[in-house]
Structure 1
Amino acid sequence: MAKLSFAQAIKNLFSAHNKEDTEFFDDLADALIEGDIGAKNAMELVDQLEKECKEGKIHGNEEILKHMKVLLSEYVKSVEFVPEKGKINIWMMLGVNGVGKTTSCAKVANLLIKNGFEQVVLSASDTFRAAAIEQLCYHGEKIGVRVVNHQHGSDPSSVVFDAAESVKAHGGGLVIADTAGRLHNKENLVHELEKIDRICKQKADDGCYKKILVIDSTTGQNALRQAEVFNEAIGVDAIIMTKYDSTAKGGVAISIGKDLGIPVFYVCTGETYSDISLFNCDDYLNTFLGL
């Protein structure tokens, strides 16, 4: 049986309570935890909401939800990066295996080309997962983007190096680097990412290097843990949320924003290359709260 969306859980909550008392706010905290905001954040948010609703005499379904939106909007942030023409830009795509990272690389490349940024190169820097190189090459062929790749098992940082050199030789552009995400072998992964990070910093022009984490929207607090690991390892500038259409809860963007201060760049809503769009905080919160 599918779990209720947070918006539906809230609707049911208001139906079940005829007044906003302590029990109502306790149930609201439970609903927020179920909505992937996390226990600590849910309790803090509800305590603040209850206090401000009492002080401001805020009552009723819509008014309380609107005030909750105001509180949540402090945590959820959006960002848009635009590669600079004539410069060497590198976007390193991070994320564990299975979140849709390789496909997201292709979606981002395709979107940028459609928006007029022609010089995009994909770097197959996940040289460990057997199918990753072939998968990226397949996507590159489909969307008409060149893929720089080395043989399976080679040094991932050398692939980024060659991709950056290629972009430089063509007068600038963007390298989108697909990387490995083997979290079960965290020490090796961190060491590998640190090495790629050094190369990216050396090769990219000032302000043109971004580290973007791809997360699966449906995995909730697991996605927050992943963000913590990658952010601690090399820092994360933004996240891309995949499976955004199928998530029943979706509060993880709030957790990542509040706990780590990381904004959301893109959301992916389906399987095709065009199923990607810039994240809109207002739309996100309206959907999450059912406003």
Structure 2
Amino acid sequence: MNDILPIILAILAALVVIGGLIPVFMKTRRNITKYPGTRDANDPVEPVRSAGGTLLEDRPAVTPERKSTDAVDLEDLETAEVPDDAAGLEVIAVETPLPVAGRLTRLRERLVRSNNILGKGLLALLSSDNIDENVWDEVEETLLLADLGTEPTMQLVDALRERVKVLGTRTPEQVKALLREELIKLVDPTMDRSLRTERHADTPSVMMVVGVNGVGKTTTVGKLARVLVAEDKDVLLGAADTFRAAAAEQLATWGQRVGVPTVKSDVDGADPASVAYEAVKAGIDQEVDVVMIDTAGRLQNKVGLMDELGKVKRVIEKLAEVDEVLLVLDATTGQNGLNQARVFSEVVNITGIVLTKLDGTAKGGIVVAIQKSLGVPVKLIGLGEGADDLAPFEVESFVDALLN
């Protein structure tokens, strides 16, 4: 009996230990099953993966202070590759963008519904039996209210006066035909509206997207990335908007949606020129077709911020030519958008305009005003909040939408 007692006590002790471990084991198993990738608060934090794996580590590119010199310290700005099966990462399904042709058809239909007051007003006035000076005054007023601008308005009115005088008696069809012809001339189909997205021999095509606060630059970059992916372009995004909270994450999400990598810094206030430089460097190393750089919004009357934008462009050009500088303008801002365009063009040599929210205004004349003032074409238009609501600007389609 004395020999059996120690064995019994040992068995009981073992059962007690096992009983204590069972709840811990079950809790751990539940965590692994229900929350794959969860980690303890004391575990090291892994960097967040951008789509495609390119990212900037969670360190500032330089000190958060904005600098006025062109010197860029890249020692603390690195790219890294994270395995696709890294634990704890939110998986965003890659979307298939609509073909460009289908997108254009849908946007034309939306423009017809939402932005045709200018054309219909002119058609009604010019179809009058007796076009006297009062009618011409109304034509002029309609054009000015549509943000066409003074010089283009006078040009169009003079052309219409001459054409109407020659025609004499006019049918509605004739009025529509002559108005269409003159509007197309005014919008200018001779301007080169193509995007320079062809890769060079040793470097990608580089595109900067600029504009004031709140016009939708980051969204435009994401939507344009979809357009380029639909054209079978290999794209990389650079999140050089380092001063707006969550801007880099917003751009990275757009990148994930269309399956393109994003170079970013997870530290607010990092030097935007450094981020842009590193994005272009990554684009060269990975031999992509296009690198798109999203920049922070800035007011056109803030000299320091505008100078900083010029610095970003100069730093990029140490690695590659900047092929496109697209200015994003909100069509609803009217003539104020024209003032913005003038200032930005002086700083970074704008090559094209992206006109957003064109469905939210009947003032389609801003297209003409901007082009006449700057000699810069409207290359893209946005007509809604959807991911595919951005398409190349086509002169005849735009005019036809105004007149239908």
The answer, yes or no, to whether TM exceeds 0.5 is yes
Deviations 1:125-183 (A, max 9, x none): 11122232232122222222211112211111111100011011112421111112221
- Give 1:35 deviation, angstroms: 1.1
- Give 1:58 deviation, angstroms: 7.3
2:208 is aligned with 1:89: no
2:118 is aligned with 1:6: yes
* 1:250-265 equivalences in 2 (<5 Å): 250-265=364-379
Name whichever of 172-181 and 39-48 sits farther off: 39-48
CA RMSD of aligned residues (A): 2.3
Deviations 1:199-256 (A, max 9, x none): 2333224xx6111111112222122111111112221111111112232221111111
SS in 1 for 2:381: strand
Report the CA distance shift for 1:47/1:229 in structure 2 as closer, same or farther (over 3 A): same
* Residue ranges of structure 1 left out of the alignment (5+ in a row): none
Report the CA distance shift for 1:96/1:281 in structure 2 as closer, same or farther (over 3 A): same
Q: Aligned AA for 2:253? A: Y
Question: For residues 306 and 171 of structure 2, what CA distance do their matches in structure 1 show?
Answer: 49
Which residue of the partner structure matches residue 140 of structure 1? 255
- Give 1:65 deviation, angstroms: 4.1
Please say if residues 115 and 359 of structure 2, whose CA atoms lie closer than 8 Å, have aligned partners that are also in contact.
no
Q: Which has the larger radius of gyration?
A: 2
Q: Percent identity?
A: 35
Name whichever of 133-142 and 51-60 sits farther off: 51-60
* Residue ranges of structure 2 left out of the alignment (5+ in a row): 1-113
Q: Aligned AA for 1:266? A: L
Which residue of the partner structure matches residue 70 of structure 1? 181
SS in 1 for 2:358: coil
Q: Aligned AA for 2:247? A: A
Question: For residues 179 and 236 of structure 1, what CA distance do their matches in structure 2 show?
Answer: 14
* 1:40-119 equivalences in 2 (<5 Å): 40-55=151-166, 57=168, 59-76=170-187, 77=191, 79-85=193-199, 87-118=203-234
- Give 1:4 deviation, angstroms: 7.8
Please say if residues 78 and 281 of structure 1, whose CA atoms lie closer than 8 Å, have aligned partners that are also in contact.
no
Which residue of the partner structure matches residue 133 of structure 2? 22
2:239 is aligned with 1:128: no
Please say if residues 196 and 324 of structure 2, whose CA atoms lie closer than 8 Å, have aligned partners that are also in contact.
no
SS in 1 for 2:185: coil
Please say if residues 201 and 209 of structure 1, whose CA atoms lie closer than 8 Å, have aligned partners that are also in contact.
no
Q: Aligned AA for 1:116? A: D
Please say if residues 126 and 175 of structure 2, whose CA atoms lie closer than 8 Å, have aligned partners that are also in contact.
no
Q: What is the total number of aligned residue pairs between the two structures? A: 285
Question: For residues 25 and 60 of structure 1, what CA distance do their matches in structure 2 show?
Answer: 18
Please say if residues 218 and 250 of structure 1, whose CA atoms lie closer than 8 Å, have aligned partners that are also in contact.
no
* Structure 1 ranges of 4+ moved more than 4 A: 55-58
Question: For residues 305 and 324 of structure 2, what CA distance do their matches in structure 1 show?
Answer: 18
